[in-house]
Structure 1
Amino acid sequence: MEGFAELLDRLVLTPQRNGKIKLLADYFRETPDPERGFALAAITRDLDLASVKPAMLRALVAERVDPELFAYSYDYVGDLAETISLIWPAPEQRRANRPPMLSEIVETLSQTSRREGPLLVARWLDDLDASGRYALLKLVTGGLRIGVSARLAKQALADFGRVDVTEIEELWHGLKPPYETLFAWLEGRGTRPTSLAAAPFRPVMLATALDEADFPKLDAADYAAEWKWDGIRVQAVAEDGMRRIYSRTGDDISHAFPDILDAMDFEGAIDGELLVGRLGENGIVAGTFGDLQQRLNRKIVTAKQLSDYPAFVRAYDLLQEGNQEMGEDLRPLPFSERRKRLDAFVEDLDPQRFDLSPLVAFSSFEELAAFRSAPPHPIIEGLMLKRHDSPYVPGRPKGPWFKWKRDPFTVDAVIVYAQRGHGKRSSYYSDFTFAVWTGPEDDPSLVPVGKAYFGFTDEELRLLDRFVRENTTERFGPVRAVRAEPDHGLVVEVAFEGLNRSTRHKSGVAMRFPRFSRLRWDKPPREADRLEALEKLLIG
């Protein structure tokens, strides 16, 4: 457990992607089985442990620590696991001669009832130092937010074994922790594992951002264009009776979309965009990303959610036709041929759950630019350009595919609340709620319209933190209300991708991907935007 705890500490404090990959690869190289395999499963969130809820942890710490001391500590630190790890009063003498191993914890919890889980956690907290306690609590609660995605962990595996990351991705869903056969292959001690997964994930092909300065180097006749829809990229794969829906990173999200699974009466693999919407006279009418969010990250989907927000896949590409044994892998074919096969394939599918993303006819990039600036549907993010002769290649090769997104919207808003961040930001106020003006011109009030926690530099973060501390008007646990008046406050320019109606927010609006664009120290709050300006951008 000590090695795993040290790894987490170093990952949190290492901002660079390549630095994180090296840390992971070194850990895999230096750590024996099964420790490294369980660490990998924890990082990729593939451990199936009996969960220990935050309320249980609060009850544990209440037995050992004065409530007021805990409350003050939690207010300052802002993270439950970190607070408990620092404040936990370890016994004068540890019960065990050595700290527990990560494998011991995982194997024990996998066979333990939920009632016994907290008692075991308390015993292990006694046997670990502060760093180990933090790692333990993050492990058992599933809150391992260390800036490492499953895709990055797979890249570290690939670097460790000197193989292409696509080989890892193609095998992944047929493997189980602690991945001993996988490590044996990567170290040259065994053969390449045979994927036992039916309906496997196929590594996704991605596009590079289009630089308009490259237009003179490109021939419009070489490319097909299609709309870029504002949903989530998925693969719908059905083979030999197995049906799965994968995110673009290879996560199996099938459980959240039973309505699509039920309609996957085919053999093959479709690459497309997951959206919500209903079948109308002219095809499926897509809803907003806000509607789609009602279906995302759900462990259980209710009948009402299925009825109110029916999901469907807007198909972009066909990767496999038929099953792996008897069918055909279409990825080596040119896009133009795959598209013809996709047109015919989708015709036989349930029209309420699958439709085709239409191609955009154009003769010049100037004509295409006009389409980009005035798309026919409000949830279109921009355009995709795909070479007619491009095979489906995993990763992000430059040249075959381009994405040409619409310019983001911006609004000037006023910071009204701030909250401490997590990890290396836990000492800074780095999560901000911002607001715009509403009401009479002579007596306006601020109404929150969104939250953002990125888009500023480290130096700007320090300035923001100082402003919050010097202009706090109220405290609500880890949250501070910030002074915001017509002539005193901090204006920020916020960029966002789109706006939806929302009944959950007092303002009635919800922003898509808000982030700080710049700090407007020069602008008085009274000159920030009004809610009416945002309402003009609303969809529907």
Structure 2
Amino acid sequence: MQAFAQLLDSLIYTRSRNAKLKLIADYLIATPDPDRGWAMAALTGDLDLPAIKPALIRTLIEERVDPVLFRMSRDYVGDTAETVALLWPEPVGGARDPAPLSISEAITRLGGLSRADAPGGLAAMMDRLGANERFALLKMATGALRIGVSARLAKTALAQAFDLDVEAIEEVWHGIDPPYDLLFAWATGSGAQPVARDVPVFRPFMLAHPLGDGRVDLTDYAAEWKWDGIRVQLVHVGGETRLYSRAGDDITRSFPEVARDFTTPGVLDGELMVKGEAQGGSEGGAASFNALQQRLGRKVVSAKMLAEAPAFVRLYDILFEGAEDLRDLGWTQRRARLEAFAARLDPERFDVSTIIEAEDFTALEGIRAGARDAAIEGVMLKRRDSAYVTGRRVGLWYKWKRDPLTADCVLMYAQRGNGRRSSFYSDYTFGCWTDSGELLPVGKAYSGITDEELKQLDRFVRAHTTGRFGPVREVDKTLVLEIAFDSIHASKRHKSGVAMRFPRIARIRTDKPASEADTLAGLGKLVT
């Protein structure tokens, strides 16, 4: 555990990507099995210890230190694991168990605990460790490392450490359980390279670069709508169907009707959405993301929800047809294979995203500008001869999101952020006026501003606080923020009746009095 704790500490304070790769690679080379496999599971978010929850950790620390002290410290530090690790008292008598705690021992014990036994088991481990190791244990146990390391970066480090092909690692990653014995046997030369044959494994998605201010020739690129759902991969192999999210998470149980109806051997790439009333010419009546959100993360889906918000997949691409790998074919060839494959599927559950017909790029600009369908995010531009390759490759696929909507809103509440923003009030709640002159919250944002603007808003919050509600500060309703957002939808869960999609701060409007901020009625006209 000590070496893993040192690794986390070093990664937190390292910004260079190459330096992070070397730190992880050196750790993997020096650490024996199965500890390095469990460390990789923690770094990639594949570790699941269901008995350990944040609420349990808060209960344990509040039994040992003043709860008020803990909450005030948590508010200042900005991270529960770090706060608990620092505040945890030494064992009675000051004597720790001298035997070191390995990662595999910790995971074996925590993984075998029931909910009733979890408090005592975790506390006993915490008593054996120093502050840095306690931090590592808690981060690992809760699956919330937040140390600036993506799953892809950790896998790249594994590939560099043992001179492996990272794409070959990605290809079989989701078919091998932690601590990845088969992978490390291959890495160290003691076993054969694992391959995906009759297992419905996840293949990494092909991704797009933002187009920015660039232009492309539609002779070389095909244009299609960028739909606002969740990117999914459909896999049917060996009589079994799996649905994977963009991150490689298995979401099959959340959308059982899609899995049930996909029984043709192959691997497809598409956008998962739910049906709703057709809006703005939406193909097949795709509902907004707000409707889909009600189903995300559910392990059990009720019959009522299946009936009211049936899921379907708008298909983009085909990776495999049966056992035939099509990824090296050009997009035009794959598109023809996809259309033929999709013709054999249930049209109520699967359709193919249509190509946008435009004479040239200027004409496409006009089509995009007029797109305000609730289910459309923008336009995808795909090079017609591009193979299906992992990750983002310059010049192959571009995403061209539609211009955001904006509204002038009044800052109402603020809360401290996490990590490096834990000392600043950086999470902001903002509102708009009702017809009766009341301010109602319409959203929250913490992105879109520079470091200097963050400091400016932090100073405003501290100087204009009018009320305190735990970590939340209420402020004078005098500062206007211009909020950019992708779309806005009706919502029964919010008092204002609306919910913004991807709100972020576009600018601070010190030039505008709060009385001239936008109204809920005005926002209502933008609802899709």
Normalising by structure 1, what TM-score? 0.90
Match of 2:421 among 416, 419, 425: 425
Alignment of 1:107-186 (within 5 A): 107-186=108-187
**Partner of residue 473, structure 1:** 466
Match of 2:496 among 493, 507, 510: 507
Identity, % of aligned pairs? 55
Task: Please list every run of 5 or more consecutive structure 2 residues that lacks an aligned counterpart in the other structure.
Answer: none
Rate the CA distance shift 1:20–1:474 in 2: closer, same or farther, 3 A.
farther
C-alpha separation between the residues in 1 aligned to 2:198 and 2:7?
30
**Partner of residue 3, structure 1:** 3
**Quick check: 2:428–2:444 contact (8 Å CA) kept in 1?**
yes
C-alpha separation between the residues in 2 aligned to 1:493 and 1:19?
38
Note the C-alpha offset of 1:276: 0.8
* Amino acid across the alignment from 1:250: G
**Quick check: 1:51–1:141 contact (8 Å CA) kept in 2?**
no
Note the C-alpha offset of 1:406: 0.9
Rate the CA distance shift 1:475–1:376 in 2: closer, same or farther, 3 A.
closer
SS in 2 for 1:295: coil
C-alpha separation between the residues in 2 aligned to 1:303 and 1:94?
56
C-alpha separation between the residues in 2 aligned to 1:459 and 1:4?
35
Note the C-alpha offset of 1:197: 6.4
**Partner of residue 303, structure 1:** 303
Note the C-alpha offset of 1:195: 3.7
Q: Deviations over 1:113-148 (max 9, x none)?
A: 222221111111112122222222232233333333
Note the C-alpha offset of 1:526: 2.5
Structure 1 position 452 matched with structure 2 position 450:
no
**Quick check: 1:185–1:193 contact (8 Å CA) kept in 2?**
yes
Note the C-alpha offset of 1:213: 4.0
Match of 2:486 among 478, 483, 497: 497
* Amino acid across the alignment from 2:423: S
Rate the CA distance shift 1:120–1:427 in 2: closer, same or farther, 3 A.
same
Note the C-alpha offset of 1:315: 0.4
Match of 2:347 among 332, 337, 351: 351
* Amino acid across the alignment from 1:172: W
Note the C-alpha offset of 1:203: 2.2
**Quick check: 1:278–1:352 contact (8 Å CA) kept in 2?**
no
**Partner of residue 226, structure 2:** 228
**Quick check: 1:276–1:311 contact (8 Å CA) kept in 2?**
yes
Note the C-alpha offset of 1:105: 0.4
Structure 1 position 239 matched with structure 2 position 237:
yes
Note the C-alpha offset of 1:397: 1.9
C-alpha separation between the residues in 2 aligned to 1:123 and 1:503?
45
Rate the CA distance shift 1:6–1:473 in 2: closer, same or farther, 3 A.
farther
Structure 1 position 251 matched with structure 2 position 249:
yes
**Quick check: 1:221–1:363 contact (8 Å CA) kept in 2?**
no
Structure 1 position 522 matched with structure 2 position 520:
no
* Amino acid across the alignment from 1:234: V
Structure 1 position 403 matched with structure 2 position 396:
no
C-alpha separation between the residues in 2 aligned to 1:62 and 1:203?
43
* Amino acid across the alignment from 1:209: P
**Quick check: 1:346–1:356 contact (8 Å CA) kept in 2?**
yes
Q: Deviations over 1:457-485 (max 9, x none)?
A: 2333233222222221111111111221x
Q: Deviations over 1:37-89 (max 9, x none)?
A: 11111222222324223333333233322334334334444543333222221
* Amino acid across the alignment from 1:54: P
Rate the CA distance shift 1:190–1:198 in 2: closer, same or farther, 3 A.
closer
C-alpha separation between the residues in 1 aligned to 2:78 and 2:365?
47
**Quick check: 2:229–2:292 contact (8 Å CA) kept in 1?**
yes
C-alpha separation between the residues in 2 aligned to 1:126 and 1:467?
42
C-alpha separation between the residues in 2 aligned to 1:422 and 1:156?
27
**Partner of residue 413, structure 1:** 409
* Amino acid across the alignment from 1:465: D
Rate the CA distance shift 1:178–1:448 in 2: closer, same or farther, 3 A.
same
Note the C-alpha offset of 1:194: 3.2
**Partner of residue 103, structure 2:** 102
Note the C-alpha offset of 1:399: 2.1
**Partner of residue 370, structure 2:** 374
**Quick check: 1:491–1:519 contact (8 Å CA) kept in 2?**
yes
**Partner of residue 90, structure 1:** 90
Q: Deviations over 1:370-392 (max 9, x none)?
A: 11111273321111122322222
C-alpha separation between the residues in 1 aligned to 2:198 and 2:16?
33
**Quick check: 1:331–1:393 contact (8 Å CA) kept in 2?**
yes
**Partner of residue 204, structure 1:** 205
C-alpha separation between the residues in 1 aligned to 2:511 and 2:165?
50
SS in 2 for 1:359: coil
Alignment of 1:39-118 (within 5 A): 39-91=39-91, 92-118=93-119
Q: Quote the RMSD (CA, aligned, Å).
A: 2.4
C-alpha separation between the residues in 2 aligned to 1:6 and 1:309?
47
* Amino acid across the alignment from 2:402: R
SS in 2 for 1:125: helix
Note the C-alpha offset of 1:270: 1.0
SS in 2 for 1:358: coil
Note the C-alpha offset of 1:196: 6.5
* Amino acid across the alignment from 1:136: L
C-alpha separation between the residues in 1 aligned to 2:158 and 2:474?
44
Note the C-alpha offset of 1:187: 4.6
**Quick check: 2:51–2:111 contact (8 Å CA) kept in 1?**
no
Note the C-alpha offset of 1:235: 0.8
Note the C-alpha offset of 1:283: 6.5
Note the C-alpha offset of 1:395: 2.0
Structure 1 position 273 matched with structure 2 position 271:
yes
Rate the CA distance shift 1:302–1:364 in 2: closer, same or farther, 3 A.
same
SS in 2 for 1:221: coil
C-alpha separation between the residues in 2 aligned to 1:6 and 1:105?
17
- More displaced stretch, 50-59 vs 115-124: 50-59
C-alpha separation between the residues in 2 aligned to 1:75 and 1:377?
41
Structure 1 position 436 matched with structure 2 position 432:
yes
Note the C-alpha offset of 1:321: 0.9
C-alpha separation between the residues in 2 aligned to 1:31 and 1:211?
44
Rate the CA distance shift 1:222–1:68 in 2: closer, same or farther, 3 A.
closer
- More displaced stretch, 307-316 vs 39-48: 39-48
Structure 1 position 533 matched with structure 2 position 526:
no
Rate the CA distance shift 1:417–1:22 in 2: closer, same or farther, 3 A.
farther
Note the C-alpha offset of 1:212: 4.2
**Quick check: 2:407–2:518 contact (8 Å CA) kept in 1?**
yes
C-alpha separation between the residues in 1 aligned to 2:459 and 2:163?
46
Note the C-alpha offset of 1:260: 0.9
Rate the CA distance shift 1:411–1:15 in 2: closer, same or farther, 3 A.
farther
C-alpha separation between the residues in 2 aligned to 1:412 and 1:188?
61
- More displaced stretch, 4-13 vs 378-387: 4-13
SS in 2 for 1:319: strand
